[in-house]
């Protein structure tokens, strides 16, 4: 990452279309932005594509960065929105059915308390795209149901249902893994 003064200078350069400044910003934040995209896409190739698309948006819309928030927060938002846009495009390709509302807050707490972070992220990547995006936005990013529904273009009921099903699948996968680890340890 760049120091505060270097970042401000680099952003000024990006605003004026300086390719060197764009390359500097890209190199400074690429790995960090890719990690964000990987949380939402579940595979490295798609994460790379989202990261590239996200940086294209950063460079074409850098004038919209006002400086009120830290640059990292703005960049993170651009990357998340890029992943969500990709998710929406996929969602249009598949038929979705609104499911009944089902929510068990204790399941999420149990999952988060008992799981290793890397294991949990690996399991989240194995979830279907709708569950994965919903879980990331709620459990990792901290968005509310209404905000997630607006971002994903679905109803609040779908958000709650997808979140509940994501939690249950994660719990099932973790339980299975724990049983396998216990069996292997005997």
In this structure, the answer to whether residues 15 and 48 fall within a common structural domain is: yes
* pLDDT at residue number 98: 42
Asked, for residue 100, whether it belongs to a domain, the answer is no
Asked, for residue 98, whether it belongs to a domain, the answer is no
**Mean pLDDT along residues 19-41:** 94
In this structure, the answer to whether residues 44 and 24 fall within a common structural domain is: yes
Confidence of residue 52 (pLDDT cuts 50, 70, 90): very high
* pLDDT at residue number 185: 65
C-alpha 180/C-alpha 18 separation (Å) is: 54
CB atoms under 10 Å from CB of 102, counted, come to 14
**Mean pLDDT along residues 84-104:** 58
Confidence of residue 156 (pLDDT cuts 50, 70, 90): very high
In this structure, the answer to whether residues 37 and 77 fall within a common structural domain is: yes
Average pLDDT, the chain: 84
C-alpha 75/C-alpha 19 separation (Å) is: 18
Q: Which of 53, 68, 93 is the last residue of a domain?
A: 93
Are 100 and 157 in contact by the 8 Å Cβ rule? The answer is: yes
Asked, for residue 31, whether it belongs to a domain, the answer is yes
User: Which of 9-18, 67-76, 107-116, 153-162 is the least confident region?
Assistant: 107-116
Which two structure tokens, joined as six digits, stand for 129?
A: 């795209």
**Mean pLDDT along residues 122-127:** 84
3-state secondary structure of 84: helix
Q: Which of 63, 93, 123 is the last residue of a domain?
A: 93
16-52 residues labelled b (16+ CB within 10 A) or e (exposed)? eeeeebbebbbeebeeebbebbbbbbbeeebbebbbb
Domain encompassing residue 178? 105-184
Q: Number of structural domains, the chain?
A: 2
The DSSP secondary-structure symbol of 26 reads: H
* pLDDT at residue number 100: 39
C-alpha 180/C-alpha 119 separation (Å) is: 14
**Mean pLDDT along residues 102-106:** 46
C-alpha 170/C-alpha 113 separation (Å) is: 13
Asked, for residue 154, whether it belongs to a domain, the answer is yes
What is the CATH classification number for the domain harbouring 71?
A: 1.10.1740.10
Residue predicted with more confidence, 40 or 50? 50
pTM of the model as a whole = 0.65
């Amino acid at each position: 990452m760049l120091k505060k003064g270097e970042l401000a200078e680099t952003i000024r350069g990006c605003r004026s279309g300086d390719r060197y400044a764009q390359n500097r910003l890209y190199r400074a934040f690429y790995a960090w932005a890719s990690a964000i995209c990987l949380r939402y896409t579940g595979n490295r190739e798609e994460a790379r594509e989202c990261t590239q698309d996200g940086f294209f948006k950063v460079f074409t819309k850098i004038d919209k960065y006002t400086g009120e928030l830290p640059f990292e927060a703005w960049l993170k938002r651009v990357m998340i929105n890029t992943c969500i846009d990709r998710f929406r495009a996929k969602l249009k390709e598949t038929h979705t059915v609104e499911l009944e509302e089902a929510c068990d807050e204790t399941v999420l707490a149990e999952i988060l308390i008992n799981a290793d972070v890397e294991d949990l992220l690996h399991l989240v990547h194995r979830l279907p795209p709708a569950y994965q995006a919903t879980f990331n936005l709620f459990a990792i990013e901290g968005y509310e149901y209404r905000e997630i529904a607006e971002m994903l273009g679905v109803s609040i009921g779908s958000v709650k249902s997808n979140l509940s099903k994501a939690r249950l699948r994660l719990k099932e996968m973790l339980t299975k893994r724990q049983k396998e680890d216990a069996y292997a340890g005997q």
